[in-house]
Amino acid sequence: MPGEHRFPSPLDVPRDLAEQALSGSFDVGDARIHHITDGIMFGRRRFWFTGIDPALWTAPLGITDPDTEFPVNFGLFVVELAGAVTLVDCGFGPGIHDLGESRGGDEMRHRLREIGIGPDDVDRIVLTHMHYDHCGGLVTDAGTAQARLAFPRSRVLVHAAELAYWTGPDSETDPMGTYVRARILPVIEAGLVTTFDEEAEIAPGVTAIPMAGHTPGHTCVRVTSRGEDCLLVGDLAHHPIHFRHHDWLPEIDADPRASIEARGALAEMAIDLDAIVTGPHMPILTLGRLGRDATGEVTWSRVEPGDASRRPASAKRGGVPRA
Ligand SMILES: [Zn+2]
For the chain, domains (ranges, CATH) are: 10-310 (3.60.15.10)
Instruction: Give whole-number Cα distances, 288 to 96, 136, 264, in Å.
Output: 28, 27, 16
Per-residue confidence (pLDDT) for residue 323, from 0 to 100 = 47
Instruction: Report which residue type is found at 164.
Output: A
Closest CA to 37 of 119, 111, 88, 94: 111
Distance 119 CA to ligand 1 centre (A): 23
Distance 235 CA to ligand 1 centre (A): 5
Distance 147 CA to ligand 1 centre (A): 23
Whether the CA torsion 158, 104, 301, 241 is positive or negative: it is negative
Distance 318 CA to ligand 1 centre (A): 32
**Does the pLDDT value for residue 206 go beyond 90?**
yes
Per-residue confidence (pLDDT) for residue 303, from 0 to 100 = 95
Instruction: Report which residue type is found at 35.
Output: H
Q: Average pLDDT in the 264-277 region?
A: 98
Distance 53 CA to ligand 1 centre (A): 24
**How does residue 142 score in pLDDT terms, banded at 50, 70 and 90?**
confident
**Does the pLDDT value for residue 315 go beyond 70?**
no
SS3 84: strand
Distance 240 CA to ligand 1 centre (A): 14
Cis peptide before 99 (omega within 30 of 0): no
Distance 65 CA to ligand 1 centre (A): 24
**Does the pLDDT value for residue 49 go beyond 80?**
yes
Distance 176 CA to ligand 1 centre (A): 12
Q: What is the mean pLDDT of the chain?
A: 91
Per-residue confidence (pLDDT) for residue 320, from 0 to 100 = 52
For residues 17 and 198, the model is more confident at 198
Distance 321 CA to ligand 1 centre (A): 31
Q: Average pLDDT in the 218-233 region?
A: 98
Distance 133 CA to ligand 1 centre (A): 5
For strand 139-140 and strand 148-149, is the pairing parallel, antiparallel, or unpaired? antiparallel
**How does residue 5 score in pLDDT terms, banded at 50, 70 and 90?**
confident
Whether pTM exceeds 0.85: yes
Distance 74 CA to ligand 1 centre (A): 7
Distance 161 CA to ligand 1 centre (A): 18
Distance 75 CA to ligand 1 centre (A): 9
Distance 204 CA to ligand 1 centre (A): 26
Percent of the chain with pLDDT over 70: 91
**Does the pLDDT value for residue 281 go beyond 70?**
yes
Write the CB contacts of 175 (distance below 8 Å, at least 6 apart in sequence): none
Lowest mean pLDDT among 72-76, 141-145, 189-193, 291-295: 141-145
Distance 227 CA to ligand 1 centre (A): 29
Distance 294 CA to ligand 1 centre (A): 33
